[in-house]
Amino acid sequence: MTTDRFSASVLVLFSLFVIWESRHLPLGTFRQPGPAYVPVFLASLLLIFGVSLILTAGRAPSLSSLRWSEWRHALAILLTCVFSVFAIERLGYRLTVLLALVFLVKGMEKRGWVSSLTFAFGMAFGSFYLFYTVLRVPLPQGPLGF
């Protein structure tokens, strides 16, 4: 299996999913397109491109040749982002950023407690002050007013 074949297969599956999901919407006619017309047309195009890629992807590198050495960091960063999605309006901006940075800098990068906490506090409160107070960008405070 080559990298291009694998990625093209994912695109094909995605295009089929879009076509399937469009069944809830009126397709319209060739002369009078409905809300599903353009999405179905685009998904069909994606399907054609995907199939063409599968057919022409013989010379691409093999799937096993891909290196994923950064996967631990990537996963930790994505988890931090997911945490931010759920926490930012519940805990407030500063507490969310503080916890996220402590996790990344202390937990992932193995820095000392003092430098991790100094950095996390500085970033969380410094960026809040700059954007919320100076630039007047609205940011959530959280239930503790924090």
CB-CB contact of 54 with 12 (8 Å): yes
Residue 129 is a binding residue for another protein (CB under 8 A):
no
14, 46 Cβ separation under 8 angstroms: yes
Angstrom CA distances, 132 to 12, 111, 139, stand at: 44, 29, 6
86 near another protein, rule: CB under 8 A? yes
Residue from 1, 13, 20, 25 in contact with another protein (CB under 8 A): 25
DSSP state of 61: P
Is 74 near another protein (CB under 8 A)? Answer: yes
CB 23 within 8 A of CB 40: no
Nearest Cα neighbor of 95 from 144, 130, 55 is 144
User: According to CB under 8 A, which one of 9, 139, 141, 146 is a site residue for another protein?
Assistant: 139
Nearer to another protein, 135 or 144 (CB): 135
Six-digit token string for 114: 């003092």
Q: Which residues would be at the binding site for another protein (CB under 8 A)? A: 3-4, 6-8, 11, 14, 18, 21, 25-26, 29-36, 38-39, 42-43, 45-46, 49-50, 52-53, 56, 66, 69-70, 72-74, 77-78, 80-82, 84-86, 88-89, 93, 97, 100-101, 104-105, 108-109, 111, 119, 123-124, 127, 131, 135-140
